[in-house]
């Protein structure tokens, strides 16, 4: 195997209580998805936490990354879980020297501009995820940020797992606490158990974001098809852009997950079962995003059609009034030529008679245009 082997693997229904709850979350934001990250390493370090686990239990003591790795290699059935948050190039290079990480994966982890993928560098697997969280807003405007995305990189080796997080979404402290307190048996499976737990949390956030986006979509749909047509086309287009950003985070993850599930001899069999559950949740999210995209396209087309109809109605009104004004303009043009011999110019009632005739013609044209829906 080469050093860098790439295995990149309804609407129209009545508003329900669930919809109302989602709409309230839209204004306030969920406690988990909307919170700002509180993770920070000591003295501004990128290291958020570093622990050594033996048989699913974390051994007591504080370790630096190099001390933790040395301790794990001295023990049987032990591994290191190192959590980093937005490390600098220097910090990441130092850790790479200790843990034997490939320079290409280190570069990807620092720049954080990758699509979801799974790569293998020797004995180390490098999994890239894109995190997402819903951004609460009072109302959707043409500049509102609805979905904020970040990145999560996971290095999985025989004796270590390193999580590198960029952005404020998918905080890792709850994942670590849950595994240590309630799922020690899962931790016994080693580094891939941590990779599963992190991936599961990221995908669960996808589901939360999808529910919140659905509330925005319902409000946009209601505004577009209401009588007052209160939803500007800019709002529809902005939500479309945010949905595209969310789709870029969700859809590409299907291939890496399929590769993990299909792997033999690398990922423990029990962990592959857990990853299948994550894949099910991801598939559900992908289907939701696809349906939202289709519905938003339909809403956008409907709004454009409404704009076109409104413009046609305005043009018909303008044409109708122009037709009525033409009668008066024609009369003024004829009698404004000041010829000496013209009909009724010497008649005492010529002017009142002409005004009365034009008024009658105006009323007849107005009623005709109203009957045909032009006015």
pLDDT digit string, tens, across residues 279-321: 999 999 999 999 988 888 888 887 777 777 777 878 888 888 8
Nearest Cα neighbor of 84 from 169, 130, 152, 150 is: 152
Task: Give 323's strand partners.
Answer: none
pLDDT category at 41 given cuts 50, 70, 90 is low
Q: Could you report the per-residue pLDDT of 356-370, keeping only the tens digit for each?
A: 888 888 888 888 878
Cα 164 from Cα 39, distance rounded (Å): 12
Greater confidence (33 vs 312) lies with 312
Q: Which of 321, 251, 318 is nearest to 290 (CA)?
A: 251
Do residues 173 and 85 make contact, with C-beta atoms less than 8 angstroms apart?
no
Fold of 4-306: Beta Polymerase; domain 2 (3.30.460)
- The answer to whether domain 310-371 has CATH 1.20.58.340 is yes
Give how far the C-alpha of residue 134 lies from the chain's centroid of Cα atoms, to the nearest Å: 8
The CA distance from 176 to 50, in Å, is 11
Kindly report the average pLDDT of the chain as a whole number: 81
What pLDDT score does 227 carry? 64
> What is the C-alpha to C-alpha distance for residues 375 and 366, in angstroms, rounded to an integer?
8
Give the residues across from 129 on adjacent strands: 152
Residue 162: pLDDT band (50, 70, 90) is: very high
Domain spans in the chain, listed from the N-terminal domain onward: 4-306, 310-371
Q: Which residue has the higher pLDDT, 111 or 333?
A: 111
Answer for the pair 29, 136: CB distance below 8 angstroms, yes or no. yes
> Which of these, 202, 186, 155, lies nearest to 33 by C-alpha position?
202
Average pLDDT over residues 192-208: 93
- Domain pair 4-306 / 310-371, same fold: no
Q: Is the pLDDT of residue 34 over 60?
A: no
For residues 122-150, give the mean pLDDT: 87
């Amino acid at each position: 195997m080469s050093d860098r082997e790439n295995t990149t693997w309804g609407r129209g229904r009545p508003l329900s209580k669930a919809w109302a709850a989602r709409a309230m979350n839209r204004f306030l934001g969920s406690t988990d998805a909307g919170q700002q990250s509180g993770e920070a390493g000591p003295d501004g370090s990128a290291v958020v936490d570093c622990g050594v686990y033996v048989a699913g239990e974390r051994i007591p003591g504080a370790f630096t990354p190099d001390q933790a790795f040395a301790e794990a290699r001295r023990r049987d059935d032990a591994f290191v879980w190192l959590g980093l948050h937005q490390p600098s190039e220097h910090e990441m290079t130092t850790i790479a020297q200790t843990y034997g990480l490939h320079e290409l994966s280190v570069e990807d982890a620092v720049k954080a501009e990758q699509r979801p993928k799974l790569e293998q560098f020797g004995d180390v697997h490098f999994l890239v995820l894109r995190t997402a969280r819903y951004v609460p807003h009072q109302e959707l405007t043409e500049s509102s940020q609805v979905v904020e995305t970040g990145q999560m990189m996971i290095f999985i080796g025989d004796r270590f797992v390193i999580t590198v997080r960029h952005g404020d979404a998918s905080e890792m402290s709850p994942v670590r606490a849950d595994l240590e307190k309630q799922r020690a048996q899962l931790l016994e499976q080693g580094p891939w158990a941590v990779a599963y737990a992190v991936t599961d949390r990221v995908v669960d956030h996808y589901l939360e974001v999808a529910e919140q986006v659905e509330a925005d979509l319902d409000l946009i749909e209601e505004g577009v098809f209401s009588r007052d047509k209160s939803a500007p086309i800019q709002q529809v287009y902005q939500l479309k852009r945010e949905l595209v950003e969310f789709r870029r985070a969700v859809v590409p993850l299907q291939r890496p997950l399929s590769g993990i599930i299909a792997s033999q001899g690398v990922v423990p069999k029990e962990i592959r079962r857990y990853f299948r559950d994550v894949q099910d949740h991801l598939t559900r999210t992908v289907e939701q995003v696809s349906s939202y995209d289709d519905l938003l396209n339909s809403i956008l087309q409907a709004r454009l059609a409404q704009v076109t109809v409104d413009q046609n109605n305005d043009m018909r009104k303008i044409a109708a009034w122009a037709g009525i004004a033409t009668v008066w303009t024609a009369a003024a043009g004829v009698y404004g030529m000041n010829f000496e011999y013209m009909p009724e110019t010497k008649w005492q009632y010529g002017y009142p008679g002409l005004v009365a005739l034009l008024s009658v013609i105006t009323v007849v044209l107005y009623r005709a245009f109203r009957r045909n829906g032009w006015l």
